Structure 1
Amino acid sequence: MQSRRLRAAATTEPGRLQIIGAVLALLVVAFGAVTGLEISQRASAADDVVGRSQPLSADAASIYRSLADADTMAAGGFLAGAQEPKAVQEQYRKDIEEAARLLVRAAATTDSSTSSGQEITTLNEMLPVYTGLIERARANNRQGLPLGGAYLRYANQKMSDELLPAAERLYAAETGRLDRDAADARRWPLLSLAAGVVVLAALVWVQRRTYRRTNRVFNRGLLVATAAATVLLLWLAVGHTVARAELRAAMTQGQESLDVLNNARINSLKARANENLTLVARGSVLTPDGSADQYETDYAEGMSALTAQLKKAERLADDERGRAPVAEAARSVTEWQKRHRTARATDDQGDYEGALVQIIGAEDSTGQSFQQVDTALRKALAHEQGEFTAAAEDGRGALRGLPTGAAALAVLGAVAVILGVNRRLSEYR
C-alpha cells in the first residue's frame, strides 16, 4: 500500500518534489550527524594527546630520570665518605619521593592488567628494595666498613638490571599510546568529506532542476541550505587540515625532540653514576672477558650515546632557543670527557684522593661539568615541552566547536530545504 502511494506520488511534480525534499533534508542531516560523530572522535583523541597520553609519557620519562638521578646521587654521596653532603642526601631523597609520587599518579590512571600497569607494579615493588640496599650501604660506609661498597654495587645492579629497564618499558608503552592517540586525531574524516560532497552535488542538481522547470534562478531555501552545507564542508576541511598540521608539528618538532633529549639526559645520569662507581669499585668489577673495568666501559658507552643524541637534538631543534641549550650541553660534554680522562690518569697513577677531588670536587671537576650538562638539558626539555604543548593545544583548538556547529548547520540546512521545497509546492495549490 505504501509503495503504491509512493509510485503514485512520483508520477506528479508535487509528489516528486516532496520525495526530493525529504531525501535532500535527510542527506543534510546525515552529513551533519556523520561530521559530528567523526570530529567528536578526532577531538577526543586530540584531548587525550594534550590531557592524558603526553602527560603520562612525560611522567614516565620523569620516573626514569628520577631513578637514574637517585642512583647517581647515591654513588656520589658514597664517594664523599662517611659524612655525605646534605645537598646530595636531599637530592637523593627528592628523587625517590618524586619517583614514588609519579608512580602513584600513573597507577591511578592506568589499568593494572595492561603492560604499563605491570611495569608500574614492578617499579613499586622494587623501589623499596633498592632504597633498603642504599641505606645498608650508607650505614656500613659511615662505620668505615668495606661491605658498604658491595651493598652500593648491588643496589646499582638492581637499578640497572630491573628498575631502569622497567621504567624504560613504561616510557615506551606510554609514548606508544601517545603516538596512537595523535594518529587517531590526525585521521582524515573521509565519510564526512564524502557526505559533504554528495550533499552539495544533490543541492546543485535540485536547484538546476528547479531552474530548468520554472526558469527561476534562485530558491531562497535551497540557497540557504547550500550555503550551510558549504560552510560546514569548508569548516570541516580547513579545521581538520589545521588540526592535522599542528598535531603533526607537535609530534615531529616537539615529541621527537623530547624523546631524544630525555634519552640524552638519562644517558648523562647513567654515565655520571658509572663514573662514580668506577672509583667506588676500584677495579673490582670487570667486563665478562676480564679485559676492562665494567663501570668505565659503561661510562664510555653512555657518553658516546649522549654525544650522538645531542647532535640529533641540535638537528631537530627548529629555533635558536631550542638549539642554544643543546649546544651548551655539547660543549659541557666535551669538557666533561676531558676532565674525566685527567681524573682516570690520576687514579691510574695511584693518587686516589687526587682523582676523587677531580670527580666530585666543587670546581674544575667532572661533577661540575655534569651539572652544566644537566642544567642545559633541563632548559632544552622545558623549551621543547612548551613547543609541544602549544602546537597540540592549537591542533585541539582547531576542532573545538565543530561537532556542535555541524549539528546546528545541518538543522539549518534541513529546515531551509523543507522551506524551499514547500515554497515550490505552494505554487501547485
Structure 2
Amino acid sequence: MSAPTTNIPVSVPAGQRSPAPSGGRGGPGTGPATIAGSLSGIPDARSVVTRLLHGTPGRMRVLGLVAVVAALVVGAVSVSALLGAQAAVDRAATNTAQVVRAQTMHVELLRADALATNAFLVGGLESPQSRAQYEAAMSAVARGISEAAAAQPADAEALGALSAQVQQYAALVEQARTNNRQLLPVGAQYLRQASAGLRAEAIPTVEAVVTANEKRSRDEFSHSSSVVLLVLGALALAVLVYVAVWLARRTHRYLNRSLTGAVALLLVGLVAAAVTVGNISRDAQAVDRGSYTQVKALADVRTAAYDARAQEGLGLVARGQSGDSEKAFTADVREVSDAINDVTPRQTRQSLGEQWSAYTTKHGEIRAADDSGDWEQAVGLATSTGSGSATATFTTFDTTASNLREDASREVAASLDGIGGRAPWIALALGAAALAAAWLVLRGFAQRLQEYR
C-alpha cells in the first residue's frame, strides 16, 4: 500500500524544483515538504517579547504600563474613599436610627410599668385616661419592635425574644388588674412578678440591642475617614512621579507635558478626595459628639426617671416593705442626675435639673407619709393628678425631656442626611479624571518611544 499524501499546497521559492517524495523521481534523500517546516522562519512569541522589552525602549514600555496602572489605582482609591466614606455615614445613620428606636422601646416599657403600678394603687378605680396611656405605651413598644426588625435584620433574633417577653409581661399585668379589681391580694404578687420579669428579661434585651447598634454606629463613624485608601492612593501617585522622573532623566528632557499633566490631574483629584473625605469624617464626628450624644443622654434620663416612678409605686404596693424599691429609686435618681449633666446647653440642663428636683421633693413627701404609717395618704399623694402633685411634676419633667429628645433625634437624622451629599458627583468626576490621566500617560510614553524609531 502506498504512503498517504497531503493535498495542502506548499509554496516553493522561485528557481527551485519541487521536492519529490522519498524514493521518487526527486532523488534520494529528499523528504516531503511539511507545514511545520514552512513556518520555521516565523519568529516565536518569546523572541517578539524579548525584542519589545529589550533596551531603553523596552524599559519604557514596561514603566509606561506601570504608570498607567498607577494612574488607574489613584483614581480607583480616590473614588472608593469617597464612596466608602459616604456609605459609612449612611450605615451610621441606619444604626443611630435603630438606637433611637430601641431606646424609645426602653422608655415606653418602663413608662407602661410605671402607669400600671400607679393604676394598681387605686384598686379597681383605674381611670380610662390611665388605661389609655398604658395601652398607648404598649402599642408603641409593639410598633417599635416591628419597625426595628424591618430596619436591622441583625437584631431580628433579639427582637423576637423581646416580643415574647413583652407579651408575657402584658399577660401578668392583666392578671394583676383582674385580681386587683376583685380586691384579691394575689394581684400584688402578679404585679411584682410582671415588674421583676420586665427588668430581668425584657429590659436587658432592649439594652443589648441598644449596645449592639451603638457599637455599629461608633465603628461606622470611625470608618468614615478612609485613611488607608487615601494612603494607598498617595503611594500610587508616588510611583507615577518616580516613573516620570526616570523618563525625564533617560530621555534628557525636563518636561513631558502629557505625563506632567497626568500627575497634576491625579494630584488635584487625590487632594479633592482627601479634603472631601476629611469633611465627611469631621461632620460625622461632630454629630457623634453633639446631637447624638444628646439623644442618648435624654433617653437615659427618661428611662431612669420612669424606673424611679415605677419603683415609687412598687414601694407603696409592698405596704411597709419598701426598702428594696426605695434603694432602686435612689439609684435611679443618681442615674437621672448624671444623665442630665450630659445635656446641653447649660440653661436646658439647669431647667431639666430643677424640674427633676421638684419631682423628687414630692416623692420625699410620699415616703414621709408612708414611713409614718399613713399609707392611704401616701397613695393619695402618689396617684393625685392635680396641680403641684407628684404626677403633675413628673409629667412636666418628662414632657420637657421628651421634647428635647425628639428635637435632638430630628437633628441627628437631618445632620447625617446632609453629610457628603456631593460625594457621588465628586467621585464621578475623579473617575473621569483618572481615565484622562491614564490616556495622557500613554500619550507621553508614545511620544518618547517614537524618538527611538
Q: TM-score range with shorter-chain normalisation?
A: 0.7 to 0.9
Amino acid at match of 1:374: D
**Matching residue within 193, 215, 221 for 1:176:** 215
Shift, 1:331, TM fit: 0.4
Shift, 1:81, TM fit: 3.7
Residue aligned with 1:72, SS: helix
Number of the residue aligned with 1:46 = 89
Q: Which piece of structure 1 moves more, 358-367 or 386-395?
A: 386-395
Shift, 1:215, TM fit: 4.7
Kindly indicate whether the alpha-carbon contact (under 8 Å) linking 2:85 and 2:223 is maintained by their aligned counterparts in 1.
yes
Amino acid at match of 2:283: E
Kindly indicate whether the alpha-carbon contact (under 8 Å) linking 1:211 and 1:217 is maintained by their aligned counterparts in 2.
no
- Report the RMSD for the aligned CA atoms in angstroms: 2.7
Cα distance in structure 2, aligned partners of 1:168 and 1:216: 65
Number of the residue aligned with 2:62 = 19
For the pair 1:258 / 2:278, whether they are aligned, the reply is no
- Please show how residues 23-422 of structure 1 align to structure 2 within 5 Å: 23-50=66-93, 52-111=94-153, 116-188=155-227, 190-200=228-238, 202-203=240-241, 206=244, 209-210=247-248, 213=251, 215=253, 217=255, 219=257, 221-284=258-321, 293-311=323-341, 313-314=342-343, 317=344, 320=345, 323-361=346-384, 362-397=386-421, 399-422=423-446
Structure 1: state its 5+ residue gaps. 287-292
Residue aligned with 1:397, SS: coil
Residue aligned with 2:224, SS: helix
Q: Which piece of structure 1 moves more, 58-67 or 415-424?
A: 415-424
Residue aligned with 1:263, SS: helix
Structure 2: state its 5+ residue gaps. 1-43
Shift, 1:211, TM fit: 7.7
Amino acid at match of 1:415: W
Amino acid at match of 1:378: S
Kindly indicate whether the alpha-carbon contact (under 8 Å) linking 1:250 and 1:389 is maintained by their aligned counterparts in 2.
no
Cα distance in structure 2, aligned partners of 1:257 and 1:3: 69
Shift, 1:363, TM fit: 1.5
Kindly indicate whether the alpha-carbon contact (under 8 Å) linking 1:141 and 1:148 is maintained by their aligned counterparts in 2.
yes
Kindly tell me: are residues 187 and 209 of structure 1, through their superposed partners in 2, closer, same or farther at Cα, counting changes over 3 Å?
A: closer
| Runs of at least 4 residues off by over 6 Å | none
Q: Write out per-residue CA displacement over residues 149-199 of structure 1, whole angstroms, 9 at most, x where no aligned residue.
A: 2222221122122211221122112222222222333342x2443333442
Q: Which piece of structure 1 moves more, 210-219 or 24-33?
A: 210-219
Cα distance in structure 2, aligned partners of 1:294 and 1:160: 14
Cα distance in structure 2, aligned partners of 1:8 and 1:47: 53
Cα distance in structure 2, aligned partners of 1:419 and 1:203: 16
Cα distance in structure 2, aligned partners of 1:152 and 1:177: 36
Kindly indicate whether the alpha-carbon contact (under 8 Å) linking 1:47 and 1:396 is maintained by their aligned counterparts in 2.
no
Residue aligned with 1:84, SS: coil
Cα distance in structure 2, aligned partners of 1:54 and 1:396: 17
Q: Which piece of structure 1 moves more, 58-67 or 131-140?
A: 131-140
Kindly tell me: are residues 123 and 165 of structure 1, through their superposed partners in 2, closer, same or farther at Cα, counting changes over 3 Å?
A: same
Kindly indicate whether the alpha-carbon contact (under 8 Å) linking 1:72 and 1:273 is maintained by their aligned counterparts in 2.
yes
Structure with the largest fraction of helix: 1
Amino acid at match of 2:79: G
Shift, 1:421, TM fit: 2.8
Amino acid at match of 1:241: G
Residue aligned with 1:306, SS: helix
Kindly indicate whether the alpha-carbon contact (under 8 Å) linking 1:336 and 1:370 is maintained by their aligned counterparts in 2.
yes
Kindly tell me: are residues 4 and 369 of structure 1, through their superposed partners in 2, closer, same or farther at Cα, counting changes over 3 Å?
A: farther
Shift, 1:121, TM fit: 2.4
Shift, 1:279, TM fit: 1.9
Shift, 1:248, TM fit: 1.6
Provide the TM-score with structure 1 as the length reference: 0.85
Instruction: Give the number of equivalent residue pairs.
Output: 409
Shift, 1:205, TM fit: 5.2
Provide the TM-score with structure 2 as the length reference: 0.81
